[in-house]
C-alpha cells in the first residue's frame, strides 16, 4: 500500500515539476519586467513559446551527427529524472532509495556533459565557446555543490534527500552558521548552473558574453523546445532542492494522508513564487560579471562550503 | 595453483613462439590467440576461486637462489588483481591482434615476443609470496614493458621516454628492495608468511610506508613521481599502452595494498593521512595536466595519474578507518578502491584502444589534427563515448559507482576520533570532487575535439573505420562498463573475501536485506544507489518523451550551413572551429596560471602589417622543476664523482679494496658480537 502510494506520488511529482517549470520561468520573467518598469509578457508565455517551437521545423547544420539530434532527449530525460528525485510536496517517493543527492548531482552532470558535446558537434566557434566556458563553470560549481552535500551530511548523517527533509522538519537542527554558509554556497552554485545573472545572462545574444546560449545556438524546432524546457526544469529543480534542504516545512511526511500531500503541493507553489521573486530581485539589482571572474565567484562558493563543513567539526566535535 | 603456473609457463612459450615464428604471417594470430587463452584461463581460475572460497592456493618451486625457494601463493587479494590483469590481457590481445595487422611495420622493434612476457611478469608479481620472487617478477615486468616502449624506437620522443622510464623504474625497485630489506631484517626470512608473523617496530614500519609509497607510487604514477608515465605509456603501441596504463599501474596498487594492509599488520593513523594527501594531490594535478595536453594518448596517460590518485585516496581512507577500528567503513573504502581498480582498467583500456583506432585510421594522435570522426568511424565513436562517459563518472555507468562508494566512505569521516583527520578528509573530498568535475571537462574536450566537429586535417576527413578485431576489442570493455555500472553489487560481493582478509569486515555487514541488484553499503549513513532502476527509469522516461514529442511536434528537418561569423560555408581546414587549446583556455586561465604558470602570448601585428597574428601558450611543469631537474643534476654530479674511480692507478685500487675489506670485517665483527 505504501509502495503503491509512493509510486503514485512519484508519478504525480514527475508531472507536477513538468507542469510547473515553464510557469516558474514565466513568473521570474514577469517579475523582472515589472521591476524594470515594463509590463512584461503573461506568465503563460513560456508554454506558448515551447508549443510554437514544437510546431516549427528543425534546421540542422550540415555537419551535425546523430549525437546532436539525440542530446536534447538525453539531457531532458536526465534533468526530468533529477527533478523527480527531489521531494517537493511529500518525502514518500518511490525513487527515493534509488538515488541520493550525489547521484542527483551526477545526473545533472550527465546532462551538462552531453549538452557540451552537442555544442561542439556542429563545428562552429560559438558552440566551442559555450561548451568550454560551461565546463569551466561546472568544474567549480560541481565540487562546491558536493561540499554543500558534505556539510549537510555531517549534520544529518545521510545524503538521501527524503531523509534530509524529514530531519530538517523535525526541528532538531536549529540555526547553524554552517548551514547558512552551505545555503549561500548552494545559492551561488544554483545561480551559476542555471546561467543566471551575474554568471550568464539568459536573455543575451551577444557573442562574447554568452555561455549557455552559445552552446545551444544551433538548436531549433523541437530540439530547442526540449533544451529550453530542460533549462526551465533545472531552475525549478534547484529551487526545489534549496527548499527541500533548507525550508522543507509544509511537506507531507511518511504516514500523513493525501490532504497533507495537497498542502505540501500548495506550500511548494508558494515557495516557488517566493524563490522566483527573490531571483528576479537579485537579477535586476546586479550587473553581469566578466567570464573570467566566474572562477573567483565559484571558488568563493567552494571555499564557503568547505568552511561550513570544517566549522561543523570544530563547533560540534561531531 | 598449478594451473596458473602452467598458464604463465605457456605465456613464456608464446614468447618463444613469437621469436621463432617472427617471419611467418600467422605468428601474430598464434601469439595473441595463445596469450588471450592463457589470460582467460587464469582469470577464470581466479573468479572461481573467489566465488567458491576455500583455502589459499600455494606452491613452492625449487628455483631461484639456492637457499631461498620461490614461494607462490594466490589468496583472495591476488585473485582480485589476477582478474583485473588478465581481463585487460584478453581485451588487449584481441585489440592488439587487429592493431598489429593494421600497423604492419617492419621498422619497429619486436612486440610479439615481449607482449606475453609482459603479461607473464605482471601475473608473477601477483602470485609471488616472498620478497625475492616479488622483486624479480617486478623487475621482469618493468623490463618487459620498457622493451615494449622501445619497440617504437624510431619515433623521435621514444628514446627520451624510455630513458626516463628505466631510471624511474630502477628507482622504484630500489625503494621496494630497501622496504623488503627493512621488513625482513628482524628475522632474515624473506617469505611473506614470515614477514607477516613478525610485525616490524614503529620506526621500521614508518620507513617501510614511506619506501612503499615511493617505490610502488613511482610505478603507479603518484605526483610528483609521475613524470615518466605520460612519456612512456603513450610511446608504446596502443594495446601495450592500454596494458601499461590500465593494468600495470594496478599491479603497483596491488603492491601498496599487499604491504600496507597485509604485511605491515595494524596500521597507524598517519599512514592513511599521508597516503590520502598524496592521492588528493595526484588526482587534482593529474587531471589538470591532462587538460593541457594535445596528444590523445598522453592525455589519457595523465588521466591515469588522476584515477590512480582517486584509488590512492580510497586506500588512504581505508587505512585511516582501519586504524580507527571502524572496519566496516574501512571495508567500504577498500571496496571503493578495488571497484575503481576494475573500473579504471576497463575504461582506460577502452579509451587507449579508441586512441589506437584513431591512430590507425588517421595516422595522428594530435587532437588538433582530428575532428569529425563520428561520421567516419561510427562504431569507434560510440564505444569511445561510452568510455568517456564512464571515466567522467556519469550514471548509470561504472565510473560513477566507484565514485559514489568513495564519497560514501568520505561522508563517514565524522566516525573518526581525530579532528585533524576529519578536516583533512573534508579537504581531500573537495579535491576529489574537483578532480571528478575537471575530468568531465577533460573528456568533453577529448571527445568533442577528436570525434565531433569538422575534420581538422585531410587524414581525419578520409579516415575509415577500423577492422572487426579492433572493434570487438573495444566493445568488450564498453559492455562491461555498462554492466558493472548497472549491477555493481555482485562484483563487490566477489571482492568480499579479499576485504575480509585485509580489514576483517565486509561493506555489507549488518544490513539485513541485501538483494543482489541493490547497492546499499553499511555505514552510519543510510544511503543506497540502484543503477538498474535508474537505467530502467531513464529508458522509460526516454520512451515516453520520444513518443510524446513525435506525436505532437513537427518532424520536418532541413539541413543547412551554420553561421560561421562571415566565414563562408565549411572551410576546408575547419580553422574557425574551437581547437583543443582554445577549449582548454578558460580552465587554463582559472587553474593553470597559478599551478603551471601558464601564460598566453599574443603577437598581434600592427595595423597595415600583413604577417599573421600568433597566439602561443607557455607553461612549466612544477614536477620537473621541483623534482626531476634537481634529481637529475644530483645524479649527474654523483656520476661525475664516481667517474674518478675509473681513472686510478692500480696502487689506489688495491688500497680501496683493502679498505673495503677492513670495513666489512669490522661490520661483521660488530654485528656478530
Q: What is the ipTM of this complex?
A: 0.94
Measure the N-to-C terminal CA separation of chain B; round to a whole number of Å.
Answer: 44
Q: Does B265 touch chain A (CB under 8 A)?
A: no
Per the CB < 8 A criterion, the answer to whether B448 and B384 are in contact is no
Beta strand extents in chain A (DSSP E only): 58-61
Q: Does B558 touch chain A (CB under 8 A)?
A: yes
Domain boundaries, chain B: 1-210+220-263, 266-549, 580-618, 626-672
Per the CB < 8 A criterion, the answer to whether A287 and A198 are in contact is yes
Alpha-carbon gap, residue B123 to B125, rounded angstroms: 5
Compute the nearest-CA separation of A306 from chain B (Å).
7
Cβ separation A125–B564 shorter than 8 A: yes
Alpha-carbon gap, residue B292 to B589, rounded angstroms: 11
> Is the bond into B609 cis (omega within 30 degrees of 0)?
no
Q: Where in the sequence is the domain holding A303, given as residue range(s)?
A: 2-316
pLDDT computed for residue B526 by the predictor: 63
Of A66, A110, A138, the CB nearest to B394: A110
Q: What are phi and psi of A144, to 5 degrees?
A: -60, -40
Of B423, B538, B554, the CB nearest to A81: B538
Q: Which of A86-90, A160-164, A303-307, B61-65 has the lowest mean pLDDT?
A: B61-65
Ranges of H-type helices in B553-649: 580-587, 593-595, 622-623, 629-643
Cβ separation A62–B554 shorter than 8 A: no
**Mutual angle of helices A101-121 and A125-156, in 10-degree steps:** 180
Q: Does B440 touch chain A (CB under 8 A)?
A: yes
* Cβ under 8 Å to B: A residues 297-316: 302, 306, 309-310, 313-314
pLDDT computed for residue A176 by the predictor: 80
**Secondary structure of residue A318 in the 3-state scheme:** coil
Q: Which residues of B touch A208 (CB under 8 A)?
A: none
Q: Which residues of B touch A55 (CB under 8 A)?
A: 553-554
Q: Does B170 touch chain A (CB under 8 A)?
A: no
Q: Which residues of A touch B576 (CB under 8 A)?
A: 124-125
Q: What are phi and psi of A132, to 5 degrees?
A: -65, -40
Alpha-carbon gap, residue B54 to B368, rounded angstroms: 54
Query: If you ran DSSP here, which 8-state letter would residue B523 be given?
Result: S
Per the CB < 8 A criterion, the answer to whether B125 and B117 are in contact is no
Q: Does B521 touch chain A (CB under 8 A)?
A: no
**Secondary structure of residue B615 in the 3-state scheme:** strand
Per the CB < 8 A criterion, the answer to whether A185 and A304 are in contact is yes
Q: Which contiguous run of DSSP H or E holds residue B368? A: none
- What is the SS3 string spanning A193-225? HCCCCCCCCCCCCCHHHCCHHHHCCCCCHHHHH
Per the CB < 8 A criterion, the answer to whether B530 and B516 are in contact is no
Compute the nearest-CA separation of B627 from chain A (Å).
28
Alpha-carbon gap, residue B606 to A156, rounded angstroms: 62
Q: What are phi and psi of B229, to 5 degrees?
A: -60, -50
Alpha-carbon gap, residue B171 to B634, rounded angstroms: 14
Q: Does B660 touch chain A (CB under 8 A)?
A: no
Alpha-carbon gap, residue A87 to A105, rounded angstroms: 15
Of A77, A110, A112, the CB nearest to B395: A110
Alpha-carbon gap, residue A306 to B431, rounded angstroms: 11
Alpha-carbon gap, residue B350 to B476, rounded angstroms: 9
Concatenating the DSSP letter of every residue in A272-290 gives: HHHHHHHHHHHHHTSPPPP
Query: Which mean pLDDT values do the consecutive 10-residue runs of chain B (673 residues) have?
Result: 90 88 79 94 93 80 77 92 95 91 68 92 93 93 93 84 89 93 82 86 90 94 90 92 94 95 89 94 94 93 96 95 90 94 96 95 91 93 96 93 92 83 91 95 95 89 90 95 92 90 81 70 70 91 91 87 69 75 87 85 88 86 85 86 86 92 92 75
pLDDT computed for residue B511 by the predictor: 66
Domains contained in chain A, number = 1
Ranges of H-type helices in B624-649: 629-643
**Nine-digit cell string for B11:** 605465456
Concatenating the DSSP letter of every residue in B136-188 gives: HHHHHHHHHHHHHHHTTTTSTTHHHHHHHHHHHHHHHHHHHHHHHHHHHHTT-
The CA angle A257-A262-A266, to the nearest 5 degrees, is 145
Alpha-carbon gap, residue A304 to A298, rounded angstroms: 10
Alpha-carbon gap, residue A167 to B7, rounded angstroms: 57
Which of A166, A313, A316 has the highest number of chain B CBs within 10 A, making it the mutation to test binding with B?
A313
More confident residue, A187 or B105: A187
Q: Does B623 touch chain A (CB under 8 A)?
A: no
Residue A3 reports pLDDT greater than 70: yes
Nearest C-alpha neighbor of B283 from the set B337, B351, B339: B337
pLDDT computed for residue B242 by the predictor: 94
* Cβ under 8 Å to A: B residues 52-81: none
What length does chain A have?
318
Of B433, B438, B443, the CB nearest to A147: B433
Amino acid at each position: 500500500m505504501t509502495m503503491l502510494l509512493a509510486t503514485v506520488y512519484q508519478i504525480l511529482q514527475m508531472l507536477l515539476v513538468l507542469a510547473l517549470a515553464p510557469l516558474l520561468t514565466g513568473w521570474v520573467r514577469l517579475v523582472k519586467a515589472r521591476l524594470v518598469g515594463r509590463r512584461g509578457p503573461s506568465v503563460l508565455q513560456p508554454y506558448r513559446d515551447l508549443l510554437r517551437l514544437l510546431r516549427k521545423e528543425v534546421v540542422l547544420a550540415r555537419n551535425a551527427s546523430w549525437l546532436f539530434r539525440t542530446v536534447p532527449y538525453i539531457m531532458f530525460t536526465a534533468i526530468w529524472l533529477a527533478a523527480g528525485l527531489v521531494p517537493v510536496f511529500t518525502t514518500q517517493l518511490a525513487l527515493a532509495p534509488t538515488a541520493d543527492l550525489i547521484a542527483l548531482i551526477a545526473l545533472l552532470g550527465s546532462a551538462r556533459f552531453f549538452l557540451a558535446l552537442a555544442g561542439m558537434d556542429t563545428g562552429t566557434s560559438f558552440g566551442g565557446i559555450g561548451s568550454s566556458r560551461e565546463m569551466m563553470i561546472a568544474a567549480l560549481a560541481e565540487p562546491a555543490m558536493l561540499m554543500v552535500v558534505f556539510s549537510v551530511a555531517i549534520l544529518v548523517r545521510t545524503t538521501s534527500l527524503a531523509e534530509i527533509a524529514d530531519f530538517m522538519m523535525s526541528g532538531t537542527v536549529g540555526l547553524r552558521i554552517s548551514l547558512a554558509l552551505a545555503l549561500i554556497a548552494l545559492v551561488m552554485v544554483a545561480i551559476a548552473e542555471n546561467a543566471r545573472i551575474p554568471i550568464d545572462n539568459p536573455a543575451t545574444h551577444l557573442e562574447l558574453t554568452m555561455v549557455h546560449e552559445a552552446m545551444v545556438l544551433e538548436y531549433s524546432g523541437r530540439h530547442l523546445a526540449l533544451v529550453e524546457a530542460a533549462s526551465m526544469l533545472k531552475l525549478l529543480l534547484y529551487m526545489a532542492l534549496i527548499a527541500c534542504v533548507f525550508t522543507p516545512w509544509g511537506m507531507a511526511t511518511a504516514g500523513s494522508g493525501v490532504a497533507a500531500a495537497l498542502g505540501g503541493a500548495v506550500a511548494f507553489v508558494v515557495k516557488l513564487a517566493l524563490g522566483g521573486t527573490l531571483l528576479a530581485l537579485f537579477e535586476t539589482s546586479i550587473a553581469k560579471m566578466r567570464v573570467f571572474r566566474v572562477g573567483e565567484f565559484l571558488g568563493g562558493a567552494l571555499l564557503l562550503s568547505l568552511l561550513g563543513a570544517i566549522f561543523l567539526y570544530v563547533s560540534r566535535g561531531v | 595453483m598449478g594451473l596458473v603456473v602452467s598458464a604463465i609457463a605457456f605465456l613464456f612459450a608464446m614468447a618463444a613462439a613469437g621469436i621463432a615464428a617472427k617471419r611467418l604471417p600467422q605468428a601474430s594470430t598464434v601469439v595473441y590467440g595463445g596469450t588471450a587463452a592463457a589470460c582467460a584461463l587464469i582469470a577464470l581460475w581466479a573468479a572461481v576461486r573467489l566465488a567458491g572460497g576455500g583455502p589459499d592456493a600455494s606452491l613452492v618451486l625449487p628455483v631461484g637462489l639456492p637457499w631461498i625457494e620461490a614461494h607462490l601463493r594466490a589468496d583472495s587479494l591476488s585473485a582480485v588483481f589476477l582478474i583485473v590483469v588478465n581481463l585487460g590481457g584478453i581485451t588487449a590481445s584481441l585489440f592488439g591482434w587487429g592493431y598489429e595487422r593494421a600497423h604492419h611495420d617492419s621498422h619497429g622493434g619486436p612486440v610479439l615476443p615481449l607482449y606475453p612476457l609482459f603479461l607473464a611478469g605482471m601475473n608473477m608479481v601477483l602470485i609471488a609470496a616472498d620478497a625475492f620472487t616479488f622483486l624479480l617478477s617486478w623487475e621482469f615486468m618493468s623490463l618487459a614493458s620498457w622493451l615494449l616502449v622501445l619497440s617504437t624506437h624510431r619515433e623521435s620522443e621514444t628514446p627520451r621516454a624510455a630513458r626516463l622510464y628505466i631510471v624511474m623504474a630502477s628507482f622504484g625497485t630500489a625503494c621496494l628492495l630497501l622496504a623488503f630489506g627493512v621488513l625482513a631484517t628482524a628475522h632474515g626470512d624473506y617469505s611473506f608468511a614470515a614477514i607477516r608473523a613478525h610485525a616490524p617496530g614503529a620506526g621500521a614500519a614508518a620507513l617501510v610506508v614511506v619506501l612503499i609509497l615511493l617505490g610502488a607510487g613511482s610505478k603507479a604514477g603518484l605526483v610528483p613521481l609521475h613524470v615518466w608515465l605520460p612519456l612512456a605509456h603513450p610511446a608504446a603501441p596502443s594495446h601495450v599502452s592500454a596494458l601499461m596504463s590500465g593494468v600495470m599501474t594496478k599491479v603497483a596498487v596491488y603492491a601498496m595494498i599487499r604491504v600496507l594492509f597485509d604485511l605491515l599488520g595494524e596500521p597507524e593513523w598517519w599512514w592513511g593521512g599521508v597516503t590520502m594527501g598524496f592521492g588528493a594531490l595526484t588526482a587534482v594535478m593529474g587531471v589538470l595536466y591532462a587538460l593541457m595536453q594535445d596528444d590523445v594518448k598522453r592525455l589519457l596517460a595523465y588521466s591515469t595519474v588522476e584515477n590512480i590518485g582517486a584509488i590512492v585516496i580510497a586506500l588512504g581512507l581505508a587505512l585511516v578507518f582501519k586504524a580507527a577500528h571502524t572496519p566496516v567503513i574501512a571495508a567500504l573504502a577498500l571496496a571503493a578502491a578495488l571497484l575503481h581498480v576494475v573500473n579504471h582498467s576497463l575504461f582506460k583500456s577502452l579509451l587507449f584502444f579508441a586512441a589506437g583506432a584513431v591512430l590507425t585510421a588517421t595516422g595522428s594522435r594530435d587532437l588538433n589534427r582530428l575532428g569529425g570522426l563520428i561520421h567516419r568511424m561510427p562504431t569507434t565513436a560510440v564505444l569511445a563515448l561510452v568510455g568517456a562517459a564512464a571515466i567522467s563518472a556519469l550514471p548509470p555507468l561504472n565510473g560513477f559507482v566507484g565514485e559514489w562508494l568513495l564519497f560514501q566512505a568520505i561522508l563517514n569521516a565524522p566516525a573518526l576520533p581525530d579532528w585533524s583527520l576529519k578536516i583533512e578528509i573534508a579537504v581531500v573530498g573537495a579535491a576529489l570532487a574537483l578532480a571528478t568535475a575537471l575530468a568531465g571537462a577533460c573528456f568533453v574536450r577529448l571527445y568533442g575535439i577528436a570525434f565531433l566537429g569538422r575534420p581538422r586535417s585531410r587524414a581525419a576527413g578520409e579516415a575509415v573505420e577500423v577492422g572487426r578485431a579492433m572493434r570487438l576489442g573495444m566493445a568488450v570493455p564498453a559492455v562491461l562498463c555498462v554492466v558493472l555500472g548497472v549491477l555493481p553489487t555482485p562484483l563487490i560481493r566477489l571482492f568480499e573475501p579479499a576485504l575480509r582478509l585485509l580489514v576483517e569486515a565486509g561493506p555489507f555487514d549488518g544490513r539485513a536485506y541485501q538483494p543482489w541488484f541493490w547497492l546499499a553499503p553499511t555505514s552510519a549513513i543510510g544511503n543506497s544507489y540502484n543503477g538498474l532502476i535508474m537505467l530502467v527509469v531513464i529508458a522509460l522516461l526516454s520512451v515516453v518523451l520520444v513518443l510524446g514529442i513525435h506525436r505532437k511536434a513537427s518532424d520536418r528537418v532541413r539541413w543547412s550551413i551554420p553561421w560561421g561569423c562571415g566565414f563562408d560555408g565549411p572551410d576546408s581546414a575547419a580553422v574557425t572551429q574551437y581547437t583543443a587549446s582554445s577549449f582548454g583556455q578558460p580552465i587554463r586561465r582559472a587553474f593553470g596560471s597559478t599551478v603551471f604558470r601558464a601564460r598566453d602570448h599574443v603577437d598581434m601585428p600592427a595595423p597595415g602589417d600583413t604577417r599573421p597574428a600568433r597566439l602561443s601558450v607557455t607553461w612549466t611543469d612544477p614536477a620537473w622543476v621541483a623534482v626531476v631537474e634537481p634529481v637529475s643534476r644530483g645524479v649527474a654530479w654523483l656520476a661525475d664523482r664516481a667517474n674518478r674511480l675509473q681513472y686510478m692507478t692500480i696502487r689506489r685500487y688495491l688500497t680501496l679494496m683493502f679498505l673495503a675489506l677492513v670495513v666489512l670485517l669490522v661490520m661483521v665483527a660488530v654485528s656478530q658480537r
